[in-house]
Each structure stands twice: as C-alpha cells, then as structure tokens.
Amino acid sequence: MSVVVPFRALRPTPDAVGKVASVPYDVVSTEEARQLARDNALSFLHVTRAEIDLPAETSPYDGRVYAQAVRNFEELKRAAPLVQESEPSLYFYRLKMGAHEQTGVAGCFSLDEYDAGLVKKHEKTRRDKEDDRTRHMIELRAQTGIVFLTYRASAAIDKMTARATAAPPLFDLAAPDGVRHAVWRASGADRDMLISAFAALPALYVADGHHRVASAARARAEIARDGGRTADAATFIATAFPDTQVRIEAYNRTVKDLADQTPEAFLAALASAGVGVGPGASIPDRAGEVSMYLAGRWHRLTLPAVAPGTPRDESLDVEVLQRRVLEPLLKVGDPRSDKRIDFVGGARGPQELERLVQSGKAAVAFSMFPVSVDDLMSIADAGGIMPPKSTWFEPKLRDGLLVHLI
C-alpha cells in the first residue's frame, strides 16, 4: 500500500509562476544561485539559498541565513503573491525536455511508510546536509523542495493522468533551460480516485531527494519533541513518476591528478590491472564500458567482469571503476569525502569533461554508461545502497511551484 495525501499547496499565481520558479537548491553553488536571482526579486532561490542576500563571506549554514530565509519567504508570499489552495488537492506535474516527456502525481507522502521501508531509498545521506534542510523546514514551517519518487507503472494511474492532462493546465512554464513545467490540479472525485489507485501500489522509490525526505523525517521528530502540531509534518511533498517514463543520465567522474604517474604509466597500469584499453568515443555504448579522456584523447575502457552471483549494487560500473581503477591505481579513497574526485552530471555532456581536463582542473575524466531504473528499484528492493553519485536525473523539478506548509 502507498499512501498519497492531498494538501493545501502554497503556490504562485499563474502570472507570477515564471518569476518564482527556480532550480533546485542543491544543483547550484551559492555564487551560481546569486547570479540566477540577481535581477529577480521573486526568485524562489531567495528562500532556498538565502545566503545570496547576505555578505559574500557568509556560510550557508550561518544562523543568519535561516532568519533571512524566513524574512524572504514572508515577503515573497506578499509580493508574488503566493496563494494557498482552498481545499486539499493533488496535482499532475509534467516535465518536457526536447522529445522526452514524463508526468507524475504531486502530493504528500507518508513519513510512517518511509520509516517502515515502504518508501524505499538507495542512497546514504550526509548529516550536515540533513542538518541544513531540517533547520530550514523548521524555521519556515514549510517543505520547499519536492522529492522525486518513482513507482512501477500502473495502468489505472496512467489512464487518470491522460484524462486529466487533456485539459488546460494551472501552470505551463517554459524555464530558461528549455524544460517545460506544466501542472494540473486534481480535486473532488479525481483526487479520490488517485488516492485509491496509489493504495494499490506495493512500494514507492526515492529517485532524487534523499536528503529532503530524511530531513522531513527529522523535522517531524523535532516539532513533536518541542510540543508542536505534527499532523502536517507527518508527510513530505513529492512527485511520483511511473518508472516507464523516468530517465537516468550518467553521473561522470573527474580526478584531479594521476597519483604521480605519467599518462603513459597510467595506461600501462590499467592494462596490467585487467582493464581493456583502446581508442573510443566520448560516450560508452553499453554497460561494462567507460569512456576515458586523458592527455587530449578519448579511450574506451572495458571493465573486468564481475563474478557470478555478485550483488547488483556491487556490479554497477561506477562501483567496479572505483574498486578496480580509481582506488588501486589513482589512490582515490572514499568517493563521498575524497577531495581529489569530482562528479559531473551527464546533462553537461562530454564537452564539460574535456573542458575540465584541458583547463587543468582535472587530469583525467571518466564518462559512464547510465544505470537503469530497474537497477535502482532492484537494489532498493534488496535493501542495498547504490554507490555514491550513481544516478543523475534529468529533467529536474523546480522549486517554488508547490510548497507544503507544516
């Protein structure tokens, strides 16, 4: 059973939505957020990254940042304006990027089910990032970032989605990056049928937004501990997309140096380690292959085969690359904390990898073949954890379109 709960969303008016909607808080640096919001007082980045309105040297975790976020949120409610729905509703949220299109159901989902493992996760979270979003939620008494869920597709939900989205949307926004964001409101009988259809789903899966949902769980506990009202805090805002529509792009790697090796010595070490090396293109053709940019050229790496019966999370290319190449040959330790490795979302393309190496910011870059949605769900079903930075979801949901007040 999967519980979806209607809520009274706080949202922009249709006239203001283009100014308010912003990129997710965690895909941009402070400086990038400052540039994006510089000439737009209504950008939701003033709420999610409020350090942009404080002196440049201010830490994003400074107490003044959360106080500024509260002030900015209250001002945005008035100036945009932001309005609250008159009755609890669910929403259909469509993302369209080029020829790709995906439509999910936005609503609130049960933290009890998350705690019980019925909303399944596949990533570990960092305490410092949880601390930040937990405090942000408690200070604002709002969940401002939408979690990205997926589920095994349901014909019943697909049918309801097709019928509802044939009508004019509440919002239809063309974002600056070319992605279109359209939202339809579902109330009354349509809302109730969606609730029943979700109840038939055996599980939901966190695709993107592990820190948001983990922080929501912590915020609920802290509000309850302090004697506050917890009914609204017992859920987290998310959009759930059918697995047949979700697209995962590669999450690529760069390493700052070759651990005191020349490019020629590193190539020889790869061959000695059982890694096939040959000329290749900038994007691998299949799982088990990695494209490597080194010394101005692309190479195709064929990773060593994993032993039969190896758990799926240990068989992913990112894990085999880490275990057989990055750790033993380039001395990269824990990829969650080693400062010599960086990660580049596949949406930036191989050109970004070339640029980083050619500029001297990295010595070598690895272009990965993306994992599948089935990989993600199978690993989560088995209670496994995917290697860090395994998945990059594109297109991404926008902040500020739908806010859940707690």
Beta-sheet strands, E only, within 22-170? 82-84, 90-97, 100-110, 119-120, 142-143, 147-151
Taking a C-beta distance cutoff of 8 angstroms, is the pair 138, 222 a contact?
A: yes
Domain identity same for 76 and 25: yes
Taking a C-beta distance cutoff of 8 angstroms, is the pair 214, 173 a contact?
A: no
The one-letter amino acid at 108? C
pLDDT digit string, tens, across residues 165-199: 999 999 999 999 999 999 999 999 999 999 999 99
Domain identity same for 315 and 261: yes
The verdict on residue 9 lying in a domain is yes
The closest of 319, 317, 331, 315 to 364, measured between CA atoms, is 331
The verdict on residue 389 lying in a domain is no
Domain identity same for 275 and 150: no
- Cα distance between residue 142 and residue 68, in whole Å: 15
Domain identity same for 75 and 142: yes
Domain identity same for 279 and 238: no
Domain identity same for 240 and 338: no
Q: How many domains does the chain have?
A: 2
pLDDT band at 347 (very low <50, low <70, confident <90, very high): confident
Q: What is the mean pLDDT of residues 204-214?
A: 97
pLDDT digit string, tens, across residues 57-96: 999 999 999 999 999 999 999 999 999 999 999 999 999 9
- Cα distance between residue 184 and residue 337, in whole Å: 41
Taking a C-beta distance cutoff of 8 angstroms, is the pair 47, 400 a contact?
A: yes
Taking a C-beta distance cutoff of 8 angstroms, is the pair 23, 399 a contact?
A: yes
Domain identity same for 185 and 260: no
Domain identity same for 27 and 117: yes
Domain identity same for 176 and 322: no
Domain identity same for 400 and 332: no
| Structure tokens that stand for 232 in this block | 């609204």
Domain identity same for 169 and 264: no
Q: Which residues does residue 171 pair with via DSSP β-bridges, in sequence order? A: 183
The verdict on residue 387 lying in a domain is no
Domain identity same for 314 and 364: yes
- Domain housing 324: 251-369
> pTM of this prediction?
0.92
